[in-house]
A and B are shown apart, each in its own frame.
Chain A
Amino acid sequence: MPNVIETHRLTKHYGQMCVVNSVELRVPQGSVYGLLGRNGAGKSTIIKMLLGLVQPDYGRAEVLSEDVATLRPETRARIAYLAEGHPLYRWMKIRDTVRLVQSFYPRFNALLMEQILDHFELSPNRKIRRLSNGQRAQVSLGLAVAQEPELLILDDPTLGLDTVVRRDFLESLIQIIQRAGRTILFSSHILGDVERVADRIGVLVDGVLRVDCPTEHFKESVKKIILEFDGHPAEFPACPGLVNQWQVGPNTEIVVVGFNGEHQALIESLGPRRMEVIELNLEDAFIEYTRGPKRSLPLFVGEPATC
């Protein structure tokens, strides 16, 4: 599968702070890629660099096989972008916004836009400033989808939406995904959302892409192990794959990536009374992984990437 997005050592500093550090991102065609990270991890900056809104200090990015620094308008017409917070002109009516956006895209599907507005029960005569956050998100999603893009980039699309609206938004997104051949890159810090729609994830920690693999693989790779001791809990020795450890009463709890025979042997050498391996959902796996020490083992499946 060719890559729709490729970055090479993409780097960005704000002042002295490195917010994106040598990121090698590959988004295969047809995939739904969830870009995860805590606040300030660099998700939005990467997305903006992919769209040419932010200039990288070093490295480069290619979208639809074209360097973003020289992205032609024809290529840009194949990309739809939902910016964080769904910025729209507040003085416009929905109808005006649709007309404005439509004028840029020869392939704009006006009928689909009408159907989406109808689905969300939004009258085209409504003023944007009178819409709730959720409704603005729905209008933005409709505008993006009606462009019939090959690549849809969404920057934290569900931020600020209540649970019901968020669920509705995601259902719509899933319907869009089912339209063949479309690639979606979206950032989020709501892990439940990502788990529902993304087939591949990338995890950014302090601007560094630490994980790039299928969602299921990440969940299966990160495990929490509780070791119960009779007396004082033993400290788990440093080893490849150890993300974090802490002592809770008589227990030592460790988080490891890629639990294997070496980990098993080290555990046995400590002689715990009991051992319990806990499978984590995406949210727990993400939390345990990102709050661990920075040296946590990178996870890349597919094309190798240096980090």
Chain B
Amino acid sequence: MLAALLWKELREMAIFTATALLVYAYFLTSLLIPGYMTNAFMDTSAVIGYLFLSGAIAAGFAMRQTVNESKQGTFQFLLNRPVSRHWLIGMKLLVGAGLYLVVAGLPVMYYAWRLATPGNYPGPFAWWMTAMAWKAWAAGTVVYLGAFLSGLRPGRWIGTRLLPLVATGGAAVLIALMPWWWATGLPAVVLLDVLLARNIFHVARTRDFS
């Protein structure tokens, strides 16, 4: 049952995932300069660009998983199955967040690999040189969960429904740029993720799927 659910969620996200990979590939081409590489991920404007892109992709993933089910009426198909609503929503979150982390992590990994490859970067490579990008990557999970909550909860789009997405978008920018990140940014990401996930499960349990 869980395998079937996992397959369904992954298959549903396939086109979005492929599109996200293409978008990241295009983004990377603007950073990779043949013959001479700078460490773009130490440059704030490039990291902000990566953050906005990753935020948009995370939000796209979440909306695909929620709004699509609402629009097609398939929440009614799914939610009356003999499995707890926690599992159904949990599987969605697991797949969506997991895909986001993999897809958004790939370009950073690839860029780091290129930097680490001798002859590409005029200096030794160290992982801390990609730290800003990883911070933005982690902040993207907050946007994903905020968008999931916006997609799931009832309400007017131009009103309270978009509020979680807008709020988490702003929070993600602040989190990514926080000083002493391990002491401030990381706890903020964890706290917000936990609070948003709790809220998502609460909304899934109590809202009307009519």
Q: Chain A: residues with CB nearer than 8 A to chain B? A: 44-45, 48, 51-55, 73-77, 79, 81, 83, 85, 87-91, 99-101, 103-105
Q: Are B82 and A77 in contact (CB under 8 A)?
A: yes
A-B contacts, 16 listed (Cβ < 8 Å)? A44-B210, A48-B76, A48-B208, A52-B80, A53-B209, A53-B210, A73-B82, A74-B82, A75-B82, A76-B81, A81-B76, A87-B77, A89-B74, A90-B72, A100-B5, A105-B82
A104's partner among B76, B83, B209 (CB-CB below 8 A) is B83
Q: Are A53 and B8 in contact (CB under 8 A)?
A: no
Q: How far is the CB of B154 from chain A (nearest CB, A)?
A: 11
Q: Are B73 and A48 in contact (CB under 8 A)?
A: no
Residues of B within 8 A of A (CB-CB), count: 22
In this complex, the member of A88, A89, A99 whose beta carbon has the largest number of chain B beta carbons within 10 angstroms is A89
B4's partner among A53, A77, A100 (CB-CB below 8 A) is A100
Q: Is B29 an interface residue (CB 8 A)?
A: no
Q: How far is the CB of A145 from chain B (nearest CB, A)?
A: 15
Q: Chain B: residues with CB nearer than 8 A to chain A? A: 1, 3-5, 8, 11-12, 72-74, 76-77, 79-84, 206, 208-210
Answer whether A81 and B8 are a contact pair too, CB < 8 Å, given A48-B210, A89-B72, A104-B1.
no
Q: Are A48 and B209 in contact (CB under 8 A)?
A: yes
The 8 closest A-B pairs by CB, nearest first: A87-B73, A103-B4, A77-B82, A76-B82, A73-B82, A83-B76, A54-B208, A53-B209
A147 nearest CB neighbor, chain B only = B82
What A residues does B77 contact at CB under 8 A? 83, 87-89
**A54–B206 Cα gap in the complex (Å)?**
8
Q: Are A103 and B3 in contact (CB under 8 A)?
A: yes
Q: Are A55 and B206 in contact (CB under 8 A)?
A: yes
What B residues does A51 contact at CB under 8 A? 80
Q: Are B74 and A85 in contact (CB under 8 A)?
A: no
**A100–B91 Cα gap in the complex (Å)?**
14
Q: How far is the CB of B67 from chain A (nearest CB, A)?
A: 14
B73's partner among A75, A83, A100 (CB-CB below 8 A) is A83
B205 nearest CB neighbor, chain A only = A55
**A53–B205 Cα gap in the complex (Å)?**
9
Q: Are B4 and A91 in contact (CB under 8 A)?
A: no
What B residues does A91 contact at CB under 8 A? 11-12
What A residues does B82 contact at CB under 8 A? 73-77, 104-105
Q: Are B72 and A104 in contact (CB under 8 A)?
A: no
What A residues does B83 contact at CB under 8 A? 73, 104
Q: Are A88 and B210 in contact (CB under 8 A)?
A: no
**A77–B206 Cα gap in the complex (Å)?**
21
What A residues does B3 contact at CB under 8 A? 103
Q: Are B210 and A45 in contact (CB under 8 A)?
A: yes
Q: How far is the CB of A66 from chain B (nearest CB, A)?
A: 12
